[in-house]
């Protein structure tokens, strides 16, 4: 994720995934934009992803931080 967000002005992400760890195997971004790729990674880990539209820059959350309402 760090490689993706560093390409954007004020890019950042917060990870609150339940299953933290390394990816087993090879991952490739092919014929999909960055957002589609990030969604696929989150889906493969059975997590949610949502953008932080309240702050400046390209920012998103992966997983749901404890006590945070995303409703």
Half-sphere exposure of 5 (CA within 13 A, CB side): 16
pTM for the model stands at 0.76
Q: Kindly tell me if the per-residue pLDDT of 43 is higher than 80.
A: yes
60 Cβ contact list (under 8 Å, min separation 6)? 13, 14, 38, 49, 50, 51, 52
Q: Kindly tell me if the per-residue pLDDT of 45 is higher than 90.
A: no
Are 2 and 50 in contact by the 8 Å Cβ rule? The answer is no
């Amino acid at each position: 994720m760090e490689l993706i967000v560093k390409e954007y002005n004020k890019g950042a992400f917060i990870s609150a995934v339940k299953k933290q760890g390394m990816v087993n195997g090879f991952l490739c971004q092919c014929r999909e934009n960055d957002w589609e790729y990030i969604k696929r990674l989150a889906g493969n880990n059975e997590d949610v992803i949502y953008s932080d539209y309240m702050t400046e820059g390209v920012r998103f959350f992966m997983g749901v931080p404890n006590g945070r309402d995303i409703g």
